[in-house]
């Protein structure tokens, strides 16, 4: 059944028409990543498109690894991709599928093309092949091996399969049209020799099909009704169709293309992301500055926010740059609604309440969320010595400064009104302590004398607060298109995109936070307990995002 509440797009219209006309009886899609890196935000869009179509039309979506190039693939990537898809909240149909499971069938179909005179073994080197292919304005030339007899081609293909030839010495090519205006149709490579073990098939094979040869046939084997991919594969569709038409495949899938997601201030090339990892410029594929799904997860982005972002940008037939601020808006909205509140002092300054009993400790009850009663309450110990952020105090300030000033009042969040009366300094002349007085009977009330506080600041009890490590993350790149043209994206890395402080002190309840639990640190931003490093003994919180978009002001 169609989900009419979801945003419609051109793919929905195609699927709806195909169902109504009877061209298909069931919607079957697939998400087919190559396991040669971690998934990034662009893949999240593709996941949402393929799984979303199946969900909305009561169909099925397969998770299939197009593992045709063992040189760049690994089990680590396979496991991370499965984790990412499941974390985003999607469920694939049946078992995980692999292109490598179809290698024997694909090889038989390669033989079928050779027997039909539609494929041949070519001995041209890679450089010679490029030379023979021609250019966008000039047709290519036929390979001198194009007219080999069928029996010779079959024997050579078998020899390739049996490891009789060196890598790069021979390939199997389709025999299509070297004068085609579409370069993909100029006798494309179908099989190449790779004498390397495969993570699924071991040493069984030493030739492997190309992505273009394998992909459409995998779709046909699995009965895919709508093979959806991004626009860079549009020029590959004629080859997709040619192979389907010339092979005895069990079904006839059709390819459709949509515009890929290109967020600003982001690099989404897996090759370049791997460079960042290999060069030690980030801590790994799941570094919270990375646009990988695992990186965003570790930074505190929620599956709901990522899926909402994918819905916000829509699914169209054109490529374009999407403002990353839309993604940041989605996570702010989600966390504002769902993240409990807490107080954490990033740069502590000691406050002594001179008229508060030295041995007294009050327990102040505060809401975990200002508009979510279902989240309950939290308890905050209040004592004579407190910590506030150093930026929240000045000896002198103009009227625009709404925090603590000597001789002025401020309210402590969820607690009393206090007034600064004096300061103490260390040996360097720096303020080490602010001496304040508690204004009596102001817990939840304005002062009886009518002198209202200028603002509200957060605090923690000096003796009860918990030391925490904060990892303050910024955007990894500082220009809108860091990999435009031929420019080196390294030049646009943001200096100090990670700052770490161990001086911060948080309200005591944060020690009990579970890994991946998010909070709004009041007046500071949204933070998440680190997925791997956080514990009650050593609390570690990653900054997900600030309360407001400060980058927009920088850009202007």
Q: Catalytic one among 270, 289, 307, 384?
A: 270
Q: What does the H/E/C string look like for 306-330?
A: HHHHHHHHCCCCCCEEECHHHHHHH
**Which helix H or strand E contains 473, and what residues bound it?**
strand 469-473
Q: How far apart are CA 447 and CA 439, in angstroms?
A: 7
Q: How far apart are CA 332 and CA 540, in angstroms?
A: 21
CA 148 and chain centroid, separation: 48
CA 434 and chain centroid, separation: 44
Q: Catalytic one among 56, 170, 186, 260?
A: 260
Q: For residue 447, what are the CA distances in angstroms to 364, 443, 450?
A: 18, 9, 6
DSSP letter for 40, please.
B
DSSP letter for 401, please.
-
Ramachandran region, residue 171 (left: φ > 0; alpha: ψ -120 to 50; beta: rest): beta
Q: Catalytic one among 34, 362, 469, 516?
A: 34
Question: Is 257 among the residues known to form the active site?
Answer: no
Q: For residue 396, what are the CA distances in angstroms to 351, 400, 404, 422, 435?
A: 17, 12, 9, 12, 15
Token representation of residue 51: 């799984």
Q: For residue 533, what are the CA distances in angstroms to 298, 343, 469, 537?
A: 11, 21, 10, 10
CB 186 within 8 A of CB 240: no
Question: Is 34 among the residues known to form the active site?
Answer: yes
Q: How far apart are CA 11 and CA 29, in angstroms?
A: 12
As a whole number of Å, the end-to-end CA separation of the chain is: 47
Token representation of residue 321: 């740059």
Q: How far apart are CA 7 and CA 12, in angstroms?
A: 9
Give the active site residues.
34, 260, 270
């Amino acid at each position: 059944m169609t989900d009419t509440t979801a945003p419609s797009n051109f793919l929905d219209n195609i699927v709806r028409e195909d169902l109504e006309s009877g061209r298909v009886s069931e919607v079957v899609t697939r998400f087919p990543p190559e396991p040669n890196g971690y998934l990034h935000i662009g893949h999240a869009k593709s996941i949402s498109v393929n799984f979303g179509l199946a969900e909305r039309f009561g169909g099925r979506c397969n998770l299939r690894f197009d593992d045709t190039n063992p040189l760049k693939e690994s089990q680590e990537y396979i496991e991370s991709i499965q984790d990412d898809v499941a974390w985003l909240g999607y469920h694939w149909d049946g078992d995980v599928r692999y292109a490598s499971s179809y290698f024997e069938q694909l090889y038989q179909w390669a033989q079928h093309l050779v027997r039909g005179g539609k494929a041949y073994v070519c001995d041209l080197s890679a450089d010679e092949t490029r030379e023979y292919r021609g250019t966008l304005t000039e047709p290519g030339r036929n390979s001198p091996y194009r007219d080999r007899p069928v029996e010779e081609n079959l024997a050579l293909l078998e020899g390739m399969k049996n490891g009789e030839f060196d890598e790069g010495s021979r390939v199997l090519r389709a025999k299509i049209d070297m004068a085609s205006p579409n370069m993909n149709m100029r006798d494309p490579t179908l099989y190449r020799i790779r004498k390397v073990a495969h993570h699924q098939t071991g040493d069984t094979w030493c030739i492997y099909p190309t992505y273009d040869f394998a992909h459409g046939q995998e779709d046909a084997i699995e009965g895919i009704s709508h093979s959806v991919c991004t626009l860079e594969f549009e020029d590959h569709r004629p080859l997709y169709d040619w192979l389907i038409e010339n092979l005895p495949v069990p079904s006839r899938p059709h390819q459709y293309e949509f515009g890929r997601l290109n967020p600003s201030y982001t690099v989404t090339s897996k090759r370049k992301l791997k460079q960042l990892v290999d060069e030690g410029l980030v801590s790994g594929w799941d570094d919270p500055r990375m646009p990988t799904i695992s990186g965003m997860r570790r930074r505190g982005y929620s599956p709901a926010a990522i899926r909402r972002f994918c819905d916000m940008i829509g699914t169209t037939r054109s490529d374009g740059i999407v403002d990353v601020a839309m993604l940041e808006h989605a996570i702010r909205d989600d966390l504002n609604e769902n993240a409990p509140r807490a107080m954490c002092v990033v740069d502590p300054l000691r406050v002594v309440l001179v008229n508060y009993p030295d041995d007294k400790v009050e327990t102040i009850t505060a809401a975990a969320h200002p508009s979510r009663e279902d989240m309950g309450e939290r308890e905050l110990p209040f004592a004579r010595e407190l910590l506030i952020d150093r930026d929240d105090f000045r000896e002198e300030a103009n009227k625009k400064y709404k925090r603590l000033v000597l001789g002025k009042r401020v309210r402590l969040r969820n607690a009393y009104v206090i007034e600064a009366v004096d300061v103490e300094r260390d040996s360097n002349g720096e303020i080490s302590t602010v001496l304040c007085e508690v204004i009596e009977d102001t817990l939840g009330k304005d002062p009886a004398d009518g002198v209202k506080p200028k603002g509200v600041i957060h605090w923690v009890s000096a003796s009860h607060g918990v030391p925490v490590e904060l990892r303050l993350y910024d955007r990894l790149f500082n220009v809108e298109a860091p990999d435009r043209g031929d420019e080196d994206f390294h030049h646009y890395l943001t200096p100090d995109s990670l700052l770490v402080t161990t001086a911060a002190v948080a309200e005591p309840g944060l020690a009990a936070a579970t890994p991946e639990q998010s909070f709004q640190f009041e007046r500071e931003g949204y933070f998440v307990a680190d997925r791997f490093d956080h514990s009650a003994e050593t609390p570690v919180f990653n900054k997900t995002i600030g309360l407001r978009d400060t980058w927009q002001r920088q850009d202007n």
